[in-house]
A and B are shown apart, each in its own frame.
Chain A
C-alpha cells in the first residue's frame, strides 16, 4: 500500500474531521463526518482489515450518519448563525486537543514497537494454515490460506463465535435494550405534561 495513498486517506479523515468540528451548518457537519468515516475505512483496508472496513462504512457512514441527518431534519435545527463564540470553551478545547496530540506523539515516538512497518511483519499465510489450531479443521479457511489469500471475514467470524460467544449474546441484549429505550424516550406524552 504505497505511502502516498496512506497520507491521502489520512488527510481525508483528518480534514473532514476538522470540518465536522468547525462546521457551522449541522448538515455539512454530518456529511463531513460521513466522508471522514469513508477515509477511515480506507485506512482499515490498508491494514488488511477488510471486514472491519466494510462494517465501518456500512454501520457508521450508512446507518449512524443517516440517523443524524434524520434527526437534524426532524428537529429542523437551524445553523447557528451569529451566536457569540463561547471563547473560553473553544480556547480550552483547542488547548486540550493540542496537548493530547503532543502527548500521544511523544509516547508513540518513544517506543520502538511503533517503528515496525508492514514489510517487517509480512503475513505468512501458507505456513499459518497448519498453525492456527482448531481453525485448521475448517477446510474453507485452510484452502484460502493455502491459496495465498486472507479469509478475513471467515477468521473474524471464527474468532467471534469460538472465543467470544457469550460476549456476542451480551451485545445482542444491549442492542435490544437500546431499541426499547429509544421507543420509550421518544413516545409523545399522551397526557399533557
Chain B
C-alpha cells in the first residue's frame, strides 16, 4: 500500500535531482529549472503531510495554503530570475555559470 513514506521519498528524490542539477549544470537556465523542481518537490511533501494529518476528518488545509503561497512566490521568482538572465545575457553574451564571477574576492 502507498504510505506517506512513499510520497516523502519521491519528494526527497525529486529534491536531490534538483540539487544535483543546480550544482552540476553549467547553463544557468537549466539551473533555474532544477530550482523549480526543488520547489515543487517541497510542495509534494507539504501536500503529502496535509493529506495524512487529518483535522476534524478533513485534510489539514493550512499546509495546502502554504503550498499555494510557495507556488505564487515561485512564479514571481521565475519572472524576476529570467529578467536577470536576460540582462546578464545582454552584458555577457553567454549563460555559462563560469562567466559569472563578478563577486570574486
Chains A and B touch (C-beta atoms under 8 A apart): yes
Interface residues of A (CB under 8 A from B): 1, 3, 6, 10, 13-14, 17-18, 20-21, 23, 26, 29-30, 33, 36-37, 40, 43-44, 46-49, 51-52, 55-56, 59-60, 63-64, 67-68, 71-72, 74-75, 77, 80, 83, 86, 89-90, 92-94, 96-98, 100-101, 104-105, 108-109, 113-119, 121, 123-125, 127-128, 131-133, 150, 155-156, 159-160, 163-164, 167, 171, 174-175, 177-179, 181-182, 185-186
A181 contact set on B, CB distance < 8 A? 79-80, 83
A52/B68 contact (C-beta < 8 A), A36-B37, A60-B40, A83-B26 known: yes
B61 contact set on A, CB distance < 8 A? 155-156, 159
Residue of B nearest to A180 (CB): B80
Classify chain B's interface size: 35 or more
B44 pairs with A75, CB closer than 8 A = no
B17 pairs with A17, CB closer than 8 A = yes
A55 pairs with B73, CB closer than 8 A = no
In the complex, A163→B64 CA distance in Å?
Answer: 13
B27 contact set on A, CB distance < 8 A? 26, 77, 80
What are the 9 closest A-B residue pairs judged by CB atoms, nearest first? A104-B12, A178-B76, A114-B5, A93-B23, A93-B24, A124-B57, A97-B20, A97-B16, A21-B21
In the complex, A105→B7 CA distance in Å?
Answer: 11
CB distance from B24 to the nearest CB of A (A): 3
Interface residues of B (CB under 8 A from A): 1-10, 12-27, 29-30, 32-34, 36-37, 40, 43-44, 47-48, 50-52, 54, 56-59, 61-62, 64-65, 67-69, 71-80, 82-87, 89, 95-96, 98
